[in-house]
Amino acid sequence: MSQVDIQEIVRQVLAEIDKRAAAKQAESQSLPLPADDGDTIIFPEEKEMGLSHPKNPQVIERVRQITPARLAIGRTGTRMKTVSYLQFRIDQAAARDAVMKGVSEAFLRELDLPVLETRAKDMQEYLMNLDAGRKLSDESVRWLQEHGDKGKNVQIIISDGLSSSAVEANVRDLLPALLQGLKLKNISFGKPIFIRRGRVWVQDQVAAIVGCDLVVSLIGERPGLATAESLSAYMIYRPTAQSVESDRTVISNIHRGGTPPVEAGAHLADVIEEILTLKASGVRYTQLKHA
């Protein structure tokens, strides 16, 4: 490819980016504003470029469109601009809410799943005592022993973890895609369960009780200031008391800005099928897959 061709491609790409940016701006300006009720503060979600005289605005805009990082926000003297500061505080509040508010009762009713508890009685204990989130409460153990589906290939756990926002934003689309994928592959699974304030390692205890081959935990990840809705899927094949982190396979960054939940559900079904075939997860699974 000649230098002229490359320059023409770059020119066309930049022109398309400018066109999309203009269309997006026009769309946002045409949206009707909510009624002013005196209590609601309207603040734009779109992050603004704060540089007054950028040397190459097209390149900066191109980079800003492929990452949610706070780039080219500018400054006033030695301080952030007010818009950037307020956006930072909004994202910080969203991250705090994701950790502390918990999955809503309405969402749990919509999922229609059994709700179990760990030994962490509240969020404070969950954050300060790791082991409390790794073990089911005595009542939940009894429920799972009496009502859990036994001897299936797969047991699915959904847990709020460190982001209830991630569960509410992704599970509604991810879970049906995952279940459909397992059905198409003739992989049996027990009824999914929701575990409140659960950590990843609680899957080991669940597997021991229901006697499944594989456990997959869909769990909210620690929120950042770019997104509070990131979910991860941790999978382990026949865990034991000696299982460690390297025995687990993880698919992370599941959210609308990363791997979309529907796509993630289908991909998880493929990975689960491979793990069951190779009878190994984690590092061992990767070694066997590429042997």
User: Structure tokens of 179?
Assistant: 């279940």
Q: Has residue 100 got a pLDDT over 70?
A: yes
Q: Has residue 88 got a pLDDT over 80?
A: yes
d(CA 90, CA 70): 14
pLDDT of the residue at 24: 57
pLDDT of the residue at 282: 96
* Contact yes or no for 281/246 (Cβ under 8 A): no
Beta-bridge mates of residue 136: 118
**Which range has the top average pLDDT, 38-52, 83-97, 185-199?**
185-199
3-state secondary structure of 254: strand
pLDDT of the residue at 279: 97
In this predicted structure, which of 129-138, 140-149, 201-210, 257-266 has the lowest mean pLDDT?
257-266
More confident residue, 89 or 238: 238
More confident residue, 148 or 54: 148
* Contact yes or no for 90/43 (Cβ under 8 A): yes
Give first-to-last CA distance, the chain, whole Å.
Answer: 37
Beta-bridge mates of residue 159: 195, 219
d(CA 37, CA 40): 6
pLDDT of the residue at 202: 96
Phi first, then psi, for residue 153 (nearest 5°) are: -65, -45
- pLDDT classification of 25: cutoffs 50, 70, 90: low
pLDDT of the residue at 107: 92
* Contact yes or no for 152/188 (Cβ under 8 A): yes
d(CA 25, CA 22): 5
Burial class (CB in 10 A: 0-12, 13-18, 19+), 12: exposed
pLDDT of the residue at 44: 66
